[in-house]
Amino acid sequence: MISVPKGTKDVLPQESYKWQYIENAARKVAKTFGAAEIRTPTFEHTEVFLRGVGETTDIVNKEMYTFLDKGGRSITLKPEGTAGVARAFVDNGLFSSALPSKLFYITQCFRYERPQAGRLREFHQFGIEFLGASDANIDAEVILLADSFLKEVGINNVTLYINSIGCKECRKKYQQALIEYLGKNAEDLCPLCKDRLAKNPLRVLDCKNDDCKKITAGAPKILDYICDDCSKHFEKVKRLLTVAGVDYKVDAGIVRGLDYYTRTVFEFVSNNIGAQGTVCGGGRYDGLIAELGGNDVPGIGFAVGIERILMLLENTGVEIPNPDKVKVYLAPMGEKEAEKAFELASLLRARGVAADFDHMGRGIKAQFKYADKIGVRYVAVIGSDELNNGAVKLKDMTDGKEEILKFSELVNKEF
Ligand code: HAM
């Protein structure tokens, strides 16, 4: 037997309705905010992520699925959605279309991480990218969209943490202070962070190594270094979140693990799914489009981890409605009746009613058992009497009530 690769999962037929529930909610909420779907390839030229996500990040350093294709090009399976969307925005000249460009996606992502609950090597994100607007009102709107999505699926017990990590200018001042602080503790940093200290000290702040964490706990906070413009921007985001009734906590420790962020960053975190509690992460990325060869177009977005959302719903006892799969199951009691069942099922399906019938030559009892197992709402029995009378005996499986219906009545019934 060959099993699935480590860190990946099959979505089986008995649970796929849960995925559809999440995806439907994502599409519904995204559309109410005016977003349209974008689908980008599963793999990109590696350079997209080197330049987009950043060469000193954990994702690029340790987690990417990168390989040379048969033409010798370096290809990477997307570890996240933003860089590919930004590449597509530039590649397709979307900056000359109506701005802001409000985009959403539902995609699989790949990261070579150590698998654990809520951390997979192939996982799925619902993401939003709003490109072209720099006002703080779009930051608040993107956060509100994430909040609306979480509420739509039935999640109310997460905490929203927000922070500002400033612009390029304030980052310079902060970086100096950080280098000074980290420099004093440099010997105790992990080898990767020693390297980061020289190349990109901000990344030391999201290192998961315990020794590094101890050191960074006392590091200067970026919020104390942001410039007037960034500070005003952050104040407006907070004001608008309050107007929208979205609760938040400011957490100066949130820096996010990707290099493209500027100004507003945020995470929705749950205490109900173990160590991997961040169900949604996002922020502003005003330099990313230019970094990928486009104009100076600002952007902001987030991504939700769908597996973590499903875990959270399960752990907090939120019932996901399981829509009826087959509405009408036709249960014939003989060969001739089976041909009638075939015909009636075809007529029902042509009207858009999910219908099925026995394919196994089972007896009537076994057919009822099967119908029950697959969650059928109605069973239409066709015995020889029914066939002679041109009728079926229709049983509602929820309350056991039965009625006799002519074939034409069955086919035209509003289910
Ligand atoms: P991220 O924080 O790396 O951000 O990932 C977003 C979400 O994806 C996480 O909060 C988590 O729920 C889920 N996730 C990440 N890694 C895994 C994994 N290995 N297994 C399961 N779930 C995972 C981004 O990806 C950014 N692109 C978000 C963004 C969009 N920022 C701006 N626009």
CA of 278 to the centre of ligand 1 (A): 8
- Check residue 407 and give its pLDDT: 98
Check pLDDT > 90 for residue 128.
yes
| CA-proximal residue: ligand 1, atom 17 (nearest) | 119
Cβ pair 377, 398 in contact under 8 A: yes
Distance CA 79, CA 414 (A): 46
| CA-proximal residue: ligand 1, atom 30 (nearest) | 302
Cβ pair 165, 284 in contact under 8 A: no
- Check residue 322 and give its pLDDT: 86
What DSSP line would sit under 186-208, residue for residue? GGGS-HHHHHHHHH-GGGGGG--
Check pLDDT > 80 for residue 324.
no
Q: How confident is the model at residue 104 (pLDDT cuts 50, 70, 90)?
A: very high
Check pLDDT > 90 for residue 146.
yes
At 161 the three-state DSSP class reads: strand
Q: How far apart are the first and last CA of the chain?
A: 43
Number of separate helices (H) and strands (E) present in the chain: 15, 16
pLDDT tens for residues 32-55? Answer: 999 999 999 999 999 999 999 999
How wide is the angle at C-alpha 219 spanned by C-alphas 184 and 270, nearest 5°? 145
CA of 369 to the centre of ligand 1 (A): 43
pLDDT tens for residues 398-411? Answer: 999 999 999 999 99
pTM above the 0.75 mark?
yes
CA of 281 to the centre of ligand 1 (A): 6
Distance CA 197, CA 386 (A): 81
Question: Residue length, the chain?
Answer: 415
Check pLDDT > 80 for residue 12.
yes
With a Cβ cut-off of 6 Å, ligand 1 is lined by 80-82, 111, 113, 118-120, 123, 125, 127, 129, 258, 278-283, 301-303, 305, 307-308
Percent of the chain with pLDDT over 90: 92
CA of 389 to the centre of ligand 1 (A): 61
Ligand 1 pocket test target in 125, 262, 313 with most atoms within 8 Å of CB: 125
378: left (phi over 0), alpha (psi -120 to 50) or beta: beta
Q: How confident is the model at residue 111 (pLDDT cuts 50, 70, 90)?
A: very high
| CA-proximal residue: ligand 1, atom 12 (nearest) | 305
Task: Name, in order, each residue with C-beta under 8 angstroms of 91's C-beta and a sequence gap of 6 or more.
Answer: none
Cβ pair 304, 99 in contact under 8 A: no
Cβ pair 93, 297 in contact under 8 A: no
Task: Name, in order, each residue with C-beta under 8 angstroms of 405's C-beta and a sequence gap of 6 or more.
Answer: 380, 391, 392, 394, 413
Percent of the chain with pLDDT over 70: 100
Q: Which of 257, 254, 258 is nearest to 268 (CA)?
A: 254
| CA-proximal residue: ligand 1, atom 10 (nearest) | 280
CA of 359 to the centre of ligand 1 (A): 44
| CA-proximal residue: ligand 1, atom 21 (nearest) | 119
Ligand 1 pocket test target in 49, 80, 272, 310 with most atoms within 8 Å of CB: 80
- Check residue 108 and give its pLDDT: 98
Cα–Cα distance list, 307 to 19, 109, 211, 323 (Å): 9, 12, 30, 20
- Check residue 323 and give its pLDDT: 84
Q: How confident is the model at residue 208 (pLDDT cuts 50, 70, 90)?
A: confident
